[in-house]
Structure 1
Amino acid sequence: MNSERARLTALYGGLLVLAGVLLMGLVYVLVSDGLYSSVMTAVVPTVPASELGLSAAPALPSSDWAQTAVIEPGQYAVARKVSTAAGDAALHQLLTVSGISLAVYSALSVALAWWMAGRVLRPVGVITARARRLSGSNLHERIALDAPPGELKELADTFDGMLDRIEQLVAARQRFAANAAHELRTPLAVQRAAAEIGLADDPPPEKVAWIRDKLIDTADNSEQLIEGLLLLAVSDEGLRRRERVGLDATTATVTEALAAEAKERAVTVDVEARPVSVQGDPVLLDHLVHNLVANALRHNHPGGTVRVRVGPGGLEVANTGPVVDPAALPLLFEPFRRAQARRHAPGEGAGLGLSIVASVARAHGGDVGATANPGGGLTARVTLPTCA
């Protein structure tokens, strides 16, 4: 910061000194331009007659003399000589005084510029010092710059806003790592317990079959969890390719593929799709629609309904089902979050469906939101930039 302070001092001081030099030059030019004529006018009436070679001076008052006297050649020469000497002396004195004043002014200007530069850069020093102290353990600290509104105040507030986002991101990543470790540890513990219990003695064939089914089911859940984590990581990285994708056609394909599950759960799926195209990754968009519709099917009740709407605003999926607490809605789009406590039931999932939806929507420049239906269930809306 000292180098920046020196540069600002040189700039401010140089401008002030330059302004002083220009002012001194302007004063010198203006004074010297009319100085000699003014001195001549003042000197001529005061020159004695004996110095002029005249027999007698006119018998007029000095004021009248200055207006009516005729200047003889000898008188003009003497007056010219006197006025030139007086003018030169006045200009010399003016230059001397101006030079001393300019030197003092320059010193004061540099000192003032140094003080001004330090005052201007003081908030930058505060920001720099706080940024150096930041680490993972004190991300809660903020600059909170106490300064009048201006560019540096705006910079400090922007920095504080960035720290807010970083703190939220770090906290989310820490929760994600902890939840992922828990979710991955659970199936391993189940597999180990099943193996230890089932193989401790000579088990009967039906027990071996039960253990086999349990291990296969646990392995399937682990595979789905790992695939969900990989998909979430891929969507968080952004889009690697873009192409024109018909959102209505993708929705029709997904709902048709889930028709058997809907029939099994005795849930009616109502689809209303208008032709809409978006620029994006067809695989990720397929996962987005699939996760929304599958989530609406699995968190429903027999005889319930799922309403799917596709239009220029994007995709909307609404379902019947248990009542959802509105306060829990923002948390549903975080990884491993569920509207209800986990029961470890078959097909329950790991709680990654809606978080993948949110990540895919962000990757496509869109947004996602949800509202709780008054009679139970959820309405999820995904807005995506559409193609013309």
Structure 2
Amino acid sequence: MPRRAGMSARLKLTLSYAGIVVFSGILLLAAVGLFLLRYVPDAQIVADIFVPNRSDLLRAFVPVAGAVMVVLIALGLGGGWLLAGRMLAPLDRISDAAKLATQGSLSHRVALEGPRDEFRDLADVFDSMLEQLEAQVAEQQRFAANASHELRTPLAISQTMLEVARTDPDRDVDALISRLQEVNARAIELTEALLLLSRAERRSFTREVVDLSLLAEEAVEALLPLADRRGVAVEVGGAAAPVLGSSALLQQLVTNLVLNAIVHNLPAGGAVAVRTHATPHAVALVVENTGEVLPAYRVATLTEPFQRGAERTRDEDHAGVGLGLAIAQRITQAHGGSLVLTPRADGGLIVTVWLPHPYPSPLG
């Protein structure tokens, strides 16, 4: 059902202000009439000079009181209208910004000036919300564009291979099938990574107490053959690190970090160290690897989707989809933690994941 148009907030405030002024005037006039005129007798006062009685005073007082009430009503309405407009001006600016936001313009800001009050706090919160929305929309648009490009690539490769094979009488069917299988496997890997990233962002998972140190050992054990083929020495250790979260997602987090450290390492003689430790209020997973020297500006972009770092290339052993660190960061954020990337002075990267301790110490 359509909503009926009611009075504006400015009109309501105006009538409220005018009502308070008029009511105050009535009370004042009533006080004069009740507590002053009551002491004046209504009978004819005999004196050498004219002395008005109560009736005389009322006849003189009532017209003046009526005129005063008219003035008070006018002042209440006019002053109330101006004051209401001045008070509601910040809300008008916030409303205009909200209308622009609904039209897709998230770059506009209220930027309310003046002393800090309730309206200023509301405007600042609204500006902060717009800023976060703008950043999220920009990230989603960039992610959608990158994802479309990444998904289009294997499909285009498959189509090209099929078209070439159709016109080539000497085609090698076994080689074609093998190549198509590789391309299809990459498309599936990318799709699964996108689904995992979406699941982490929605935070739709059951939480339980999980020990990161055990997950780290499992990840290293599973990836040890890959590390051996690449000549990377992997070391794992540390104290128990219990966290509250999804065992599957946290296992994916640890696996992504260890895999990333193994793949993006030195061509020969590389090393990876995986450690866990706990503080009274948080637990940490640290994955450190050797590798090329990474500048700080490039490290800051590694958690963006489809970023593969400096000169990171795909090979037959591990193609990668550029979502490893992006997924790790989303999973960390979904568990209320933070992921910190620090470049090593000698080359390589230190990835530190901080997660809340499920049993924080009251004395910590």
Alignment correspondent of 2:353: 382
Displacement of 1:374 in angstroms is 0.9
**For residues 257-299 of structure 1, what are the alpha-carbon distances to aligned partners after superposition, in whole Å with 9 as ceiling and x for unaligned?**
1222222222222222322222211111111111111111111
Does residue 127 (structure 1) correspond to residue 97 (structure 2)? The answer is no
Q: What stretches of structure 2 of length at least 5 have no aligned partner?
A: 1-5, 360-364
Letter in 2 for 1:325: P
Select 1:309's aligned residue among 245, 263, 275.
275
Displacement of 1:139 in angstroms is 2.9
Distance change in 2, residues 1:181/1:122 (3 Å)? same
Matches of 2:38 and 2:276, distance apart in 1: 85
Displacement of 1:377 in angstroms is 0.9
Distance change in 2, residues 1:342/1:187 (3 Å)? farther
Matches of 2:104 and 2:199, distance apart in 1: 29
Displacement of 1:314 in angstroms is 2.3
1:325-340 maps to which residues of 2 (within 5 A)?
325-340=295-310
Alignment correspondent of 1:367: 338
Does residue 14 (structure 1) correspond to residue 19 (structure 2)? The answer is yes
Alignment correspondent of 1:219: 184
Whether the aligned pair in 1 keeps the contact of 2:100 and 2:108 (CA below 8 Å) is no
Displacement of 1:157 in angstroms is 3.0
1:182-261 maps to which residues of 2 (within 5 A)?
182-198=149-165, 200-203=167-170, 207-261=172-226
Letter in 2 for 1:340: A
Does residue 351 (structure 1) correspond to residue 356 (structure 2)? The answer is no
Alignment correspondent of 2:56: 89
Letter in 2 for 1:233: S
Displacement of 1:25 in angstroms is 2.9
Displacement of 1:91 in angstroms is 5.1
Whether the aligned pair in 1 keeps the contact of 2:245 and 2:335 (CA below 8 Å) is yes
Select 2:252's aligned residue among 284, 287, 290.
287
Distance change in 2, residues 1:247/1:33 (3 Å)? farther
Please tell me the root mean square deviation across aligned C-alpha atoms, in Å.
2.9
Matches of 2:110 and 2:161, distance apart in 1: 54
Whether the aligned pair in 2 keeps the contact of 1:35 and 1:87 (CA below 8 Å) is yes
Matches of 1:201 and 1:145, distance apart in 2: 69
**Bigger helix share:** 1
Displacement of 1:232 in angstroms is 0.8
Q: Provide runs of 4+ in structure 1 moved above 6 Å.
A: none
Alignment correspondent of 1:78: none
**For residues 300-336 of structure 1, what are the alpha-carbon distances to aligned partners after superposition, in whole Å with 9 as ceiling and x for unaligned?**
1122221222222321211111111211223211111
Matches of 1:249 and 1:303, distance apart in 2: 26
Relative to structure 2, which stretch is displaced further, 93-102 or 113-122? 93-102
Whether the aligned pair in 2 keeps the contact of 1:371 and 1:379 (CA below 8 Å) is yes
Alignment correspondent of 2:3: none
Relative to structure 2, which stretch is displaced further, 133-142 or 286-295? 133-142
Distance change in 2, residues 1:357/1:202 (3 Å)? same
**For residues 68-97 of structure 1, what are the alpha-carbon distances to aligned partners after superposition, in whole Å with 9 as ceiling and x for unaligned?**
xxxxxxxxxxxxxx97x5354335534443
Aligned residue-pair number: 348
Alignment correspondent of 1:23: 28
Instruction: Determine helix, strand or coil for the equivalent of 1:244.
Output: strand
Displacement of 1:118 in angstroms is 1.8
Distance change in 2, residues 1:106/1:352 (3 Å)? same
Does residue 105 (structure 1) correspond to residue 72 (structure 2)? The answer is yes
Displacement of 1:122 in angstroms is 2.4
Q: What stretches of structure 1 of length at least 5 have no aligned partner?
A: 37-42, 49-81
Distance change in 2, residues 1:8/1:173 (3 Å)? same
Displacement of 1:188 in angstroms is 2.0
Relative to structure 2, which stretch is displaced further, 107-116 or 184-193? 184-193
**For residues 120-179 of structure 1, what are the alpha-carbon distances to aligned partners after superposition, in whole Å with 9 as ceiling and x for unaligned?**
222322332343234566332333345554322332332222222222212111111111
The structure number with the bigger radius of gyration is 1
Displacement of 1:363 in angstroms is 1.3
Matches of 1:20 and 1:319, distance apart in 2: 81
Does residue 142 (structure 1) correspond to residue 109 (structure 2)? The answer is yes
Letter in 1 for 2:298: A
Instruction: Determine helix, strand or coil for the equivalent of 2:53.
Output: helix
Name the TM-score, length of structure 1 as normaliser: 0.80
Letter in 1 for 2:257: L
Matches of 1:131 and 1:259, distance apart in 2: 54
Alignment correspondent of 1:40: none
Whether the aligned pair in 2 keeps the contact of 1:13 and 1:110 (CA below 8 Å) is yes
Whether the aligned pair in 1 keeps the contact of 2:40 and 2:53 (CA below 8 Å) is no
Whether the aligned pair in 1 keeps the contact of 2:196 and 2:327 (CA below 8 Å) is yes
